[in-house]
Amino acid sequence: MQDTNVSNRAFDTLIVGAGSMGMAAGYYLSRLGNKVLLLDAGDPPHEQGSHHGNTRLIRHAYGEGAAYVPLALRAQQLWADLEQETGTTLFARTGVVNIGSPDDPFLREVQVSAARHQLPLETFDGAQASRRWPAWRLTADQIVNFEPDAGVLYCERAIDAYRKLATALGATLRTNTRVVRMACHGRETVNVWTDKDEKFSARDLIVCAGKSTRHLLAPLGLDVPVTRVRKTFAWFEAASGLFAPDRFPGFFVATDIGGYYGFPDLDGSGLKLGRHDAGEAVSTDAPLAPFGAEPTDLGDLQAFLQRYLPGAGKLRVGRACEYDMTPDTHFIIDRVPACPNVHIATGFSGHGFKFASAIGEALAERITQGESHMDLSLFARKRFV
Ligand SMILES: Cc1cc2nc3c(=O)[nH]c(=O)nc-3n(C[C@H](O)[C@H](O)[C@H](O)COP(=O)(O)OP(=O)(O)OC[C@H]3O[C@@H](n4cnc5c(N)ncnc54)[C@H](O)[C@@H]3O)c2cc1C
């Protein structure tokens, strides 16, 4: 339940943005006895950020860089722990196929990641893969890497699970409360002000407010190069049975008509498909145009289906969502140089959800122990300086 009388309480940590990363951090901090206040502009999970749409892929043999693999494996373990603690299904082991041309850098890095970390990975050519998973119309010159242990996370359910556990452990959550300003005083105190004219203070602060992060950090003398990008995705009829989870794994495909990802027909929801590249940059406060506002919203997906998954049926429903993109698509997880007690987690560039459990844990460790046991050096902001 929402606590309405919290202004005068002393907190150890304020978390601005109680979405994917923030809610996880709130839970791991609360478990360590840290007194947490989470502030969110909406009522998470919700549809005003980056975490809606029911499902997210979790891959381990990581095409974006082998350096992510330990974080992915730690995240997978923590998702399993969360399932056990809450008795909720949060992960479906559907397997994931990564598809592309043999010289595609993403595909090559998937193979490097698997080899370096001894991950199970089966390799097929496109013709063999089309026989094994008959929905796919692939050609022999395409490579298919199948990760049997990867799969699908139920993202909103996971945020809800963290919310319930964190609040049960004593965390305070203020929903529908937008943070408008922040300040820090060396290592002593951080302050935030909300759109309800409230001021909160604590020793530590985590800023993981998606699209607002850049704007909120500017007065602390820090620019994080993050751009908000509109994305769309949709569900299609899958009555043929070709897209059932035992016949059709989750997928990521690099093609000459774009990078696409998708999900099997889970629980009768239909085939879910989205385009990972492309999308328009939008300003922080602009409302997102709904799915269908741009002809490419549906047009791109249909072109892909026609060529590669011709058994898919009609559009059921589509949604708009947002990515917070960094120039190199790697995350930013760091501290504010002038305010060492202000932690930042942003720029998840359309591939962050799978790591939310491990990043929440790592932020909690940084705050309570000074550093995390995970290597987060890839995400330091100084790479842009
Ligand atoms: C369509 C789509 C598909 C994706 N697919 C995958 C996938 O398959 N696998 C994967 O790993 N990742 C995927 N991602 C990426 C992943 O979902 C994001 O990287 C992740 O959710 C980002 O987490 P976050 O905590 O930064 O943002 P969010 O979860 O959006 O949380 C940010 C929170 O900040 C709050 N907020 C904003 N401004 C303020 C303010 N001023 N004051 C207070 N609160 C504020 C918001 O309300 C929100 O709750 C996908 C993303 C999209 C959009």
Distance 379 CA to ligand 1 centre (A): 17
User: Which alpha helices (DSSP H) does the chain contain, by range?
Assistant: 20-31, 69-86, 105-116, 126-132, 155-168, 213-217, 295-308, 356-369
Atom of ligand 1 nearest to the CA of 22: 25
- How far apart CA 332 and CA 224 sit, in angstroms, is 8
DSSP code per residue over 319-373:
EEEEEEE-TTS--EEEEETTEEEEEEEE--TT--GGGHHHHHHHHHHHHHHSS-S
Q: How many CB atoms lie within 10 A of CB 316?
A: 14
b/e string for 196-224 if b means 16 or more Cβ within 10 A? eeeebbbbbbbbbbbbbbbebbeebebeb
Which CATH number is 11-50+156-225+329-384 given? 3.50.50.60
Query: Which entry of 155, 184, 208, 321 is annotated as an active-site residue?
Result: 321
Please name the residues in contact with 319: beta carbons below 8 A apart, sequence gap of 6 or more. Answer: 47, 52, 53, 232, 233, 234, 290, 291
How far is Cα 46 from Cα 42, in angstroms, rounded to an integer? 7
The SS3 of residue 276 is: coil
Spatial separation of the C-alpha atoms in residues 32 and 349, rounded to whole Å: 29
Is residue 354 annotated as part of the catalytic site, yes or no?
yes
CATH 3.30.9.10 domain span(s) along the chain: 96-148+227-325
Reply yes or no on whether 231 is catalytic: no
User: CB neighbours of 145 closer than 8 A, spacing ≥ 6?
Assistant: 61, 97, 98, 99, 107, 110, 111, 114, 121, 122, 123
Report CA(142)–ligand 1 centroid distance (Å).
32
- Take atom 5 of ligand 1 and give the residue whose Cα is closest: 56
Contact 262, 251 (CB under 8 A): yes
Span from the CA of 51 to the centroid of ligand 1 (angstroms): 4
| Ligand 1 atom at minimal distance to the Cα of residue 354 | 11
- CA–CA dist 272, 289 (Å, integer): 20
The finding on whether 31 has its CB within 6 A of some atom of ligand 1 is no
The pLDDT of residue 185 is 86
User: Which atom of ligand 1 is nearest to 231's Cα?
Assistant: 1
Low-confidence ranges of the chain (pLDDT < 70): 1-9
Take atom 24 of ligand 1 and give the residue whose Cα is closest. 20
pTM (2 decimals)? 0.97
Pocket test for ligand 1, best of 43, 212, 348, 355 (most atoms within 8 A of CB): 348
Which of 377, 349, 343, 330 shows the shortest CA–CA distance to 22? 343
Length of the chain: 385
Annotated active-site residue in 55, 167, 194, 232: 55
Question: What is the amino acid identity at position 197?
Answer: D
CA 370 – ligand 1 centroid, Å = 26
Q: Is 314 a catalytic residue?
A: no
226: which DSSP letter? -
39, containing H or E segment: strand 36-39
State yes or no: cis peptide before 134, omega within 30 of 0.
no
Q: Which segments of the chain belong to CATH 3.50.50.60?
A: 11-50+156-225+329-384
Active site residue 52: yes
| CA nearest ligand 1 atom 23, residue | 20
What sign has the CA pseudo-torsion 159, 171, 12, 284? Answer: positive
Residues 271 and 264 sit within 8 Å (Cβ to Cβ): yes
For this structure, is 184 an active site residue?
no
CA 234 to chain CA mean position, Å: 18
Q: Which CATH number fits domain 96-148+227-325: 3.30.9.10, 1.10.260.40, 3.40.50.720, 3.40.50.150?
A: 3.30.9.10
Is 86 in the active site? Answer: no
* Partners of 105 in beta bridges: none
- Judge if the beta carbon of residue 74 lies within 6 A of ligand 1: no
Closest by alpha carbon to 274, among 265, 262, 292, 257?
A: 262
210 lines ligand 1 (CB under 6 A): yes
**Contact partners, residue 110, CB within 8 Å, separation at least 6:** 59, 61, 62, 63, 98, 121, 145, 147
Using alpha carbons, select from 384, 366, 274 the residue that is nearest to residue 330. Answer: 384
Instruction: Point out the catalytic residue in the list 211, 214, 231, 276.
Output: 276
Q: Active-site residue 276, yes or no?
A: yes
Tokens encoding 380: 């330091």
**pLDDT at 6 (0 to 100):** 56
Question: Looking at 51, 52, 59, 211, which residue is catalytic?
Answer: 52
**In whole angstroms, what is the distance from residue 183 CA to residue 193 CA?**
9
Tokens coding 344: 């930042």
Cβ atoms of 213 and 50 closer than 8 Å: no
Given this model, what pLDDT does residue 317 score?
98
> Is ligand 1 within 6 A of the CB of residue 44?
yes
Tens of pLDDT, residue by residue over 177-199, are: 999 999 998 778 999 999 999 99
Mutate to test the pocket of ligand 1, among 43, 52, 56 (most ligand atoms within 8 A of CB): 56
Closest residue by Cα to atom 37, ligand 1, is 209
